[in-house]
């Protein structure tokens, strides 16, 4: 009596059947993952996630307080110097016996510094430039954080989709191993095929576990960027296929140098350094203090008025002026270099976007379809006994690699767009003030 025939091993893209060597249905083939049906309790879009992070992150709050400190500096720079009041009193004794006796005398002196108007205006201008620099620093912190949040959000989406792909592959490898074991047990296949199938199962399980851990790591990174404002079970309502909307490159070349927060900050710091130079030069001019004095004793009362002038005769603040000039030149040099460097960063990010778009088009329009067709051919050949299991597994591995590369290309596209948005300080700005 012939031995019973066991169902054959299955491979991606096959159809169900009960005859030996038939393959599992096409649904078992690892395809592009879709979002799960049941969503966690907190669902956020990428823009909502950015707004939440921009409100909760401690670096943004610290930059806010820095702006307040700079505004307080303007108040201090605009204040007028306070007058000084001196009062002196004490007993008085006559040295000559014929002099009229007097028990005490009193003296009041009021001094009011008269501030140099050139020095005052330069000091106030320098403080106001510090406020502009603080505002630009706040904008830079926001733009950098918004870009980090966007990249981290899409990285979480990427890791979750890779985890789904690896989970489907792991389940498929386990099904193949089970079917191969049945064939080996009934003597229809060599034990080598079972060893190969078990090796593939272990490798797939290892990849699945690593993908799940990477997804959890990306989730923790997002919670860290939002300072714990996210629930542990949050879900991102987004996809790596989200459309990108950017102005043309020529328009970006004109916009970025004008709106980039770092360029704006360095421009304000250069202005502050230049005004500090004017402040040091204005400090060379003589300073004036008006004095009013009242002296009273038993026989006399005198009222005096005078002027105290500080003349910079020996030292004319040459060291302070040279240091301020050097600091101004340093700020100008940094500004020129960073303006050029940011322009090159824009060109690099734009090229990265173009490369990622071409890769996505290449995978979606050609390579992925060819890999799917090759898998179908390998499955048919295996079904008719013209190819072995190894060829089918190799074809399935190629398809899985192309799917992973497609996901990575879509993620690279989102990263390039996030970098361009960072350079032009484009992020959700509602309800941030």
Q: What number of other Cβ atoms are within 10 A of residue 184's Cβ?
A: 19
Classify residue 223: in a domain, yes or no.
Answer: yes
127 contacts 73 by C-beta, under 8 angstroms: yes
Classify residue 212: in a domain, yes or no.
Answer: yes
Instruction: Kindly give the residue spans of alpha helices, DSSP state H, lying in 79-190.
Output: 117-185
pLDDT in tens, the chain (433 residues): 444 433 333 334 333 333 333 444 443 445 544 433 333 458 889 999 999 999 989 999 999 999 999 999 999 999 999 999 999 888 777 666 665 555 677 889 999 999 889 999 999 999 999 999 999 999 999 999 999 999 999 999 999 999 998 888 888 778 778 877 877 788 776 788 788 888 888 988 999 999 999 999 999 999 999 988 888 889 998 889 888 889 999 999 999 999 999 999 999 999 999 999 999 999 888 889 999 998 887 777 889 999 988 888 888 889 999 999 999 999 999 999 999 999 999 999 999 999 999 999 888 877 777 777 787 787 677 656 566 667 777 787 888 888 889 999 999 999 999 999 999 999 988 766 5
Q: Whose CA is closest to 139, among 231, 60, 84?
A: 60
Please give the helix or strand (H or E) that residue 307 lies within, else none.
Answer: strand 301-310
Q: Whose CA is closest to 134, among 187, 78, 65?
A: 65
- 380's tokens: 């048919």
Give the model's pLDDT for residue 420.
95
pTM (2 d.p.): 0.79
Classify residue 49: in a domain, yes or no.
Answer: yes
Give the model's pLDDT for residue 334.
95
CATH number of the domain where residue 353 is located: 1.20.1600.10
- 382's tokens: 């295996």
Give the model's pLDDT for residue 433.
59
Classify residue 303: in a domain, yes or no.
Answer: no
SS3 call for 231: coil
Residue for token pair 């060291």:
319
51 contacts 428 by C-beta, under 8 angstroms: yes
Classify residue 317: in a domain, yes or no.
Answer: no
Give the model's pLDDT for residue 212.
93
Q: Of all residues in the chain, what percent are helix, strand and coil, respectively (each to 5)?
A: 65, 10, 25
424 contacts 374 by C-beta, under 8 angstroms: no
Give, in order, the Cα–Cα distances in Å from 144 to each of 74, 399, 424: 27, 36, 11
307 contacts 133 by C-beta, under 8 angstroms: no
Looking at residue 5, the DSSP 8-state letter turns out to be: P
Classify residue 91: in a domain, yes or no.
Answer: no
| Rounded Cα distance, 63 and 254, in Å | 27
Classify residue 236: in a domain, yes or no.
Answer: yes
Classify residue 408: in a domain, yes or no.
Answer: yes
| Rounded Cα distance, 58 and 87, in Å | 51
State which residues form the domain around 258. 40-80+115-170+205-283+323-423
Residue for token pair 């003597």:
187
Give the model's pLDDT for residue 27.
39
311 contacts 287 by C-beta, under 8 angstroms: no
Q: Give how many domains the chain has, as a whole number.
A: 1
């Amino acid at each position: 009596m012939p031995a019973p025939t066991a169902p054959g091993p299955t491979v991606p893209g096959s159809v169900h059947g009960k005859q030996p060597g038939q393959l599992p249905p096409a649904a078992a083939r690892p395809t592009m993952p879709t979002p799960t049906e049941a969503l966690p309790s907190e669902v956020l879009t990428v823009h909502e996630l950015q707004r939440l992070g921009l409100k909760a992150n401690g670096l943004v709050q610290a930059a806010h307080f820095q702006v307040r400190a700079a505004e307080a500096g303007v108040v201090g720079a605009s204040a007028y110097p306070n007058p000084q009041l001196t009062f002196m009193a004490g007993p008085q004794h006559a040295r000559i016996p014929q002099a009229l006796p007097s028990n005490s005398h009193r003296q009041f002196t009021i001094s009011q510094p008269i501030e140099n108007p050139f020095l005052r205006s330069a000091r106030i201008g320098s403080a106001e430039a510090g406020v502009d620099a603080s505002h630009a620093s706040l904008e830079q912190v926001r733009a950098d954080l918004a870009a980090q949040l966007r990249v981290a959000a899409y990285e979480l989406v990427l890791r979750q989709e890779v985890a789904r792909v690896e989970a489907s592959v792991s389940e498929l490898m386990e099904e193949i191993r089970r079917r191969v074991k049945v064939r080996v047990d009934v003597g229809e296949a060599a034990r080598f095929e079972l060893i190969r199938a078990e090796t593939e199962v272990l490798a797939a399980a290892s990849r699945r576990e690593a993908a799940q851990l990477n997804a959890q790591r990306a989730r923790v990174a997002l919670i860290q960027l939002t300072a714990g404002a996210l629930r542990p079970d949050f879900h991102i309502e987004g996809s790596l296929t989200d459309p990108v909307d950017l102005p043309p490159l020529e328009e970006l070349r004109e916009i970025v140098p004008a709106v980039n927060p770092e360029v704006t900050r360095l421009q304000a710091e250069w202005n502050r350094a230049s005004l500090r130079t004017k402040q040091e030069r204005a400090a060379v001019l003589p300073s004036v203090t008006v004095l009013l004095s009242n002296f009273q004793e038993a026989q006399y009362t005198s009222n005096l008025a005078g002027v105290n002038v500080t003349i910079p005769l020996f030292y004319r603040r040459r060291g302070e002026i040279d240091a301020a000039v050097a600091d101004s030149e340093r700020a100008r040099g940094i500004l020129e270099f960073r303006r050029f460097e940011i322009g090159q960063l824009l060109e690099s990010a734009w090229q990265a976007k173009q490369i990622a778009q071409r890769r996505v088009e290449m995978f979606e329009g050609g390579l992925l379809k060819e890999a799917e067709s090759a898998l179908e051919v390998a499955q048919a050949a295996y079904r008719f006994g013209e190819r072995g299991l190894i060829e089918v597994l190799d074809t399935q591995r190629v398809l899985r690699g192309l799917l992973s590369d497609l996901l990575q290309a879509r993620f690279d596209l989102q990263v390039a767009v996030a970098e361009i948005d960072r350079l032009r300080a484009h992020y959700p700005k509602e309800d941030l003030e």
